[in-house]
């Protein structure tokens, strides 16, 4: 980018973060997935990718942790009109079922609506898998931008078809381990259960920030044994209250992960003050800097991030502020920076304390 000035304001028609990169020139490509078919509380996640794109042009490109991540090339693909159309159709069908509390048994019209939503969700998964696979085969790193949290399933399928074994680091308020919630096979509340059941290449799921879950999910996680490690938000808070440092806690989290991983970040894993309009906000959660420190700890322990998704960013429906998108855009940039650093495509600033091993580290 010989003529690009990273200190100048972003042009109105510029790409993500005000960058001029084309898809061909970018090391990391963002796949927007404007989908929220099974959202049963607050709406708006399908508007997340566009809102993040708009807010990203206000993000300063200088990063205090990673040297010039933008220089690797970052590009967001245009939204798919087909995905938008599927989302409208699936939402219309899903709302009938959601209004009935998911009780469709013996009600032919609602059963038909469930089947319609599940079929459209299957189409979306196939589309995401194909698009992600195309980018991976072109040598790109992929950052999926949702949409609700059901959207990364196809991306994880594509990665598993090319990488025999990896882990998932999952930031969320919810376990997302429900079985076909409200009858929807591809529910946002079932994404991690679907991943564990259908994608054997995912060897370990590490969840952090979890604070809203049902008994079924708790029992399912326990039954998975060492394949799932849950860092419940309440337990993390008690450790902090007892004087344990966040550095040590982050080390425990990193030590649970294999050497290669995907990050799945539902923004409601953060304290709701950072994402007040997300679909299902829950009191508690991580501070923005706490979440980033975990990722830093993971990368500086030598682990490699293969890709990531960021989901459930929902703009204010009254358009009074752009806070959710503002936070989402900055989180997206930091996820990108640390992913590129883990791949050796960007350098971490400074030396010394950032480069450490983790007690109890895994091979």
What pLDDT digit, counting tens, does each position of 101-133 carry? 888 888 999 999 999 999 999 999 999 999 999
For position 352, what pLDDT does the model report? 52
CA distance 174 to 253: 17
Residue 363 confidence class, pLDDT cut points 50, 70, 90 = very low
- DSSP states along 26-86: -SEEEEEE---TT--SS--GGGHHHHHHHHHTTS-S--SSEE-GGGG-EEEPPPPHHHHHH
Inter-residue contact 153 to 301 (CB < 8 Å): no
Rounded to the nearest 10 degrees, the angle between the axes of helix 323-342 and helix 48-56 is: 80
CA distance 217 to 223: 10
Q: What six digits make up the tokens of 25?
A: 């020139």
pLDDT above 90 for 4: no
- The CA-atom distances, in angstroms, between 240 and each of 206, 217, 246, 251, 309 are 19, 25, 7, 14, 28
pLDDT above 70 for 267: yes
pLDDT above 60 for 362: no
CA distance 121 to 124: 5
Residue 290 confidence class, pLDDT cut points 50, 70, 90 = very high
CA distance 5 to 282: 40
pLDDT above 90 for 190: yes
Inter-residue contact 186 to 153 (CB < 8 Å): yes
Q: What angle do CA 79, 80, 84 make, to 5 degrees?
A: 100
For position 333, what pLDDT does the model report? 98
Query: Considering only CA atoms, which of 69, 30, 27 is closest in space to residue 53?
Result: 30
> 10 Å Cβ neighbour count for 136?
20
More confident residue, 28 or 361: 28
Please provide the average confidence, as pLDDT, over all residues in the chain: 94
Inter-residue contact 66 to 340 (CB < 8 Å): yes
Q: What percent of the chain has pLDDT over 70?
A: 96
Cite the DSSP H helix spans in the chain.
48-56, 81-99, 108-137, 153-162, 191-198, 215-223, 233-241, 246-255, 288-300, 323-342
DSSP-derived 3-state class of residue 170: strand
pLDDT above 70 for 351: no
CA distance 247 to 41: 35
The mean per-residue pLDDT over the stretch 254-278 comes to 98
Q: What percent of the chain has pLDDT over 90?
A: 87
For position 40, what pLDDT does the model report? 76
Tens of pLDDT, residue by residue over 238-262, are 999 999 999 999 999 999 999 999 9
The DSSP code for 174 is: B
Inter-residue contact 333 to 326 (CB < 8 Å): no
For position 39, what pLDDT does the model report? 86
The mean per-residue pLDDT over the stretch 38-64 comes to 93
Residue 358 confidence class, pLDDT cut points 50, 70, 90 = low
> 10 Å Cβ neighbour count for 99?
10
């Amino acid at each position: 980018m010989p003529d690009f000035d990273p200190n100048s304001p972003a042009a109105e028609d510029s790409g993500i973060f005000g960058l001029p990169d084309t898809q061909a020139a970018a090391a990391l490509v963002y796949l927007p997935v404007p989908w929220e078919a099974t959202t049963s509380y607050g709406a708006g996640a399908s508007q997340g990718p566009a809102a993040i794109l708009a807010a990203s042009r206000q993000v300063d490109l200088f990063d205090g942790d990673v040297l010039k991540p933008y220089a690797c090339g970052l590009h967001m693909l245009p939204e798919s009109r087909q995905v938008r159309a599927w989302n409208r159709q699936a939402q219309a069908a899903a709302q009938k079922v959601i209004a009935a509390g998911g009780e469709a048994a013996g009600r032919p019209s609602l059963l038909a609506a469930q089947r319609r939503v599940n079929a459209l969700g299957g189409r979306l998964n196939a589309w995401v898998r194909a698009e992600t696979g195309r980018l991976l085969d072109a040598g790109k790193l992929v950052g999926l931008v949702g949409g609700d949290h059901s959207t990364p399933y196809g991306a994880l399928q594509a990665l598993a078809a090319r990488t025999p074994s990896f882990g998932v680091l999952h930031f969320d308020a919810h376990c997302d381990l429900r079985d076909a919630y409200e009858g929807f096979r591809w529910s946002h509340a079932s994404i991690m259960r679907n991943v564990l059941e259908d994608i054997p290449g995912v060897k370990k799921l590490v969840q952090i920030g979890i604070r809203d879950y049902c008994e079924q999910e708790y029992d399912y996680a326990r039954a998975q044994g060492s394949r799932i490690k849950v860092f419940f938000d309440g337990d993390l808070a008690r450790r902090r209250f007892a004087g344990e440092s966040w550095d040590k806690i982050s080390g425990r989290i990193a030590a649970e992960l294999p050497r290669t991983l995907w990050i799945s970040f539902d923004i409601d894993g953060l304290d709701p003050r950072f994402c007040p309009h997300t679909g299902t906000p829950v009191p508690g959660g991580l501070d923005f800097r706490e979440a980033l420190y975990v990722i830093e700890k993971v990368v500086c322990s030598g682990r490699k991030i293969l890709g990531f998704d960021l989901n459930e960013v929902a703009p204010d429906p009254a358009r009074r502020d752009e806070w959710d998108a503002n936070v989402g855009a900055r989180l997206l940039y930091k996820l990108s920076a640390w992913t590129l650093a883990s791949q050796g495509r960007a350098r971490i600033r400074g030396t010394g304390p950032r480069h450490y091993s983790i007690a109890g580290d895994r091979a």
